[in-house]
Amino acid sequence: MKMKKLYLVRHAKSSWDNPDFSDFDRPLNKRGKHDAPFMGKLLKKENVKPDLIYSSPAVRAITTAQIFADELDYPKKKIVESISIYESGIKELEEIVQKISEEHKSVLIFGHNPALTSFANHLGNKFIDNVPTCAVVGIEFDVKNWKQVEHGTGKTFMFDFPKKYFQK
């Protein structure tokens, strides 16, 4: 069996300063711009080398994905944007994961709550009450291909987030 690793990453903290921006267009705020590179560096220290990065195209999510890509030496132009991540639920996220090509062993998905928290609990073996902004949930699967990833097949090996390191 080959091990597959999935990292679910919630976008970094976004700004609500401009009421004219739609939810989709909200940018990162100051804290988000601080937390995203920090968490990207943390993954690099853990030797995370993504074969594939998927992201919601919402500004706050794709910006977070691009910052992580920089930290992880992943080409930004290779980030796959998927609108189905933006307003997804468990079913849509599972469909995305099950369509990942077999040769990819390490995949990051950048998205939103409540879907990411629900999905982490759907796949993994540790209950997570809430995936906060810029948090990373790592789940590994003892499967040959991503089609075999489904409810309860994963082992949650990581749950990390900026507030563990920066108490406000």
pLDDT per residue as tens digits for the range 6-20: 999 999 999 999 889
List domains and CATH numbers for the chain. 3-164 (3.40.50.1240)
Class of residue 151 by CB neighbours under 10 A (exposed 0-12, middle 13-18, buried 19+): exposed
Alpha-carbon dihedral angle through residues 34, 133, 126, 80, given to the nearest 10 degrees = -90
**pLDDT band at residue 168, thresholds of 50, 70 and 90?**
low
Measured distance CA(158)–CA(160) in Å, rounded: 6
Smallest Cα–Cα separation from 3: which of 110, 149, 120?
149
pLDDT per residue as tens digits for the range 11-69: 999 999 988 999 999 999 999 999 999 999 999 999 999 999 999 999 999 999 999 99
Measured distance CA(149)–CA(85) in Å, rounded: 17
Sheet with 154-160: list strands edge to edge: 80-81, 52-55, 106-111, 3-10, 136-142, 154-160
Instruction: Provide the pairing of β-strand 80-81 with 136-142.
Output: unpaired
The whole-number average pLDDT for the span 68-87 is 96
User: What confidence score (pLDDT) does residue 99 get?
Assistant: 97
pLDDT per residue as tens digits for the range 132-146: 999 999 999 999 999
pTM over 0.95: yes
Q: Is residue 1 scored above 80 in pLDDT? A: no
Q: Is residue 154 scored above 80 in pLDDT? A: yes
The whole-number average pLDDT for the span 94-109 is 97
Q: What's the CA angle centered on 105, arms 110 and 40, to 5 degrees? A: 40
Amino acid at 107: V
